[in-house]
Chains A and B, each alone.
Chain A
């Protein structure tokens, strides 16, 4: 991997040999982390799935592992997560893509030097602060339009997660658009295309793999988002089409157990790992899909 692959003979020096082993060990910590995550989630879920059949887990529509009468259907949590994902995608995907087009194709250099760091700040705000923003600003605004809105509602959570993932879509999509060579744009202009046509019919299609990959990553991020949705969307497992009602996502359930007094070894504690495993599998699948899209449909320009 090194740039300077100088083969300096087979000089055996102790320092280098020790350094290699120590540094390799550091790198292997990341591999151990992955194995650790998989191991912890699977071994933690096994006791749960001894009590609860996988069929019940994925088909029952009631989720109440702590409070009697107990039932163990994860569908309400999946539904809650899906509401947040769909809502936040409706905000972030169009806004992020158009932002990327503006930054890559239209903004002059001075404007770009202001806008890009601003969006980076947006990406660096802690999620707990987003959660506070949702309950103290977004929810009251929604209540002004729809007075029946509850203190906790899916819409507020979806909007705030949408804002949170805008920078992810815009920066990755802009990278993809900036990588489109100017030759292609100039060829378009040579044919008499307007700038609008060049942007939407040449740059956008040429950058489509990077843009789609950014969408999938942003959705993966929305699935795993925890604190903002816990504060804004609530703690009530609920299969509903009404975004003004309180819901609970998988992550919010994990927070509920994490902050509650659930004893180790109880089914409530075990359910934490079953939900965590489901969450991990979903985000991993999205991340792999994103990598696949980028690799599969990438146009390589020199």
Chain B
């Protein structure tokens, strides 16, 4: 920022030129912003266009098939049903584990932990975990849950792996929700003789719950779209029925879409597109729920 570069006031000709540069620059910035918007529009348009005519009620209620024509309306019926149910089971289980662990960890860090080395280490560690590639979590799940714990390539192993993957995000979201609870409320409770645990249970948690739920649902919507971790854990590609036990095999929508997308026959590209539309719709519903909860309870 040398001063000779700011010669705008005295040079008339250069001022006009600078205005022109300015306008070009704004234009370039605006066009760059549109790159992201246009890419999103193209992606959605492409997925919907490719799936057109292939998405039917049967697609949601039938198991996959080796023959592309079975997926077409009027065919024998084939679709994403086992993977759809598998994904829902996977997410419900993951939700149970992450809510317990994530909220517990966040309460500890916000309400109980002293500002010491251990706490700083835990927080730095959470920040680093959030940057570990999801496929590495898949290796962890493969070695610990599938092999060492003997769970096999099961629904339980898959959901535990996804739990570890989204735990850092859930903790950070829950911490923010807990931090937003006004101190005056805690003080009032202490003032009438509540213990710390009672304050946590009866004041902090109820007040932070909507924020925690919003953050958790948003994290779960990331988990439901993850392919790499459950692939390493050994999610099945061609399951013909939904998972029937915690320790049994499972499929999930992203895994099924991957399986379709890499088939060489061109027809299966449409099937993969139809699967993507179903996955995106589930994601949309989850995000809408999260936003609805936030708007309903956001009184600040």
Contact = CB atoms under 8 A, between A and B. Distances in A.
Interface of A: 1-4, 6, 8, 11, 13, 15-16, 18-20, 22-31, 33-34, 36-37, 40-41, 44, 94-95, 98-99, 101-103, 106-107, 115, 118-119, 121-122, 124-133, 135-137, 163, 166-167, 170, 188, 191-197, 199-202, 205, 217, 220-221, 223-227, 231, 251, 254-255, 258-259, 264, 272-273, 276, 279-280, 283-284, 286-288, 291
Interface of B: 1, 3, 5-6, 8-9, 15, 18-19, 21-22, 25-26, 28-30, 32-33, 35-37, 39-40, 42-43, 46-47, 50, 100-105, 107-115, 119, 121-122, 125-129, 131-140, 142-144, 147, 164, 167-168, 171, 179, 183, 186-187, 190, 195-198, 200, 221-222, 224-228, 231-232, 234, 237, 254, 257-258, 261-262, 269, 272-273, 276, 279-280, 283, 287
Contacts of B190: 4, 6, 8
Given A15-B195, A118-B37, A224-B136, A129 B131 contact: no
A118 B40 contact: yes
A283 B33 contact: no
A130 B276 CA distance: 10
A5 to B, nearest CB: 9
Report whether over half of chain A's contact residues are helix, strand or loop; otherwise say mixed. Answer: helix
A145 B157 CA distance: 45
Given A27-B105, A29-B105, A251-B228, 5 more contacts: A29-B167, A30-B105, A31-B122, A98-B32, A101-B29
Contact of B127 (A33, A122, A291): A291
B262 A231 contact: yes
A40 B144 contact: yes
Contact of A3 (B9, B33, B108, B186): B186
Contact of A196 (B18, B222, B231): B18
Contact of A106 (B26, B50, B231, B287): B26
21 contacts: A1-B114, A4-B187, A13-B195, A23-B105, A36-B144, A44-B143, A102-B29, A119-B36, A122-B36, A124-B287, A132-B276, A196-B26, A217-B131, A221-B131, A224-B135, A225-B133, A226-B134, A254-B138, A258-B234, A272-B139, A283-B132
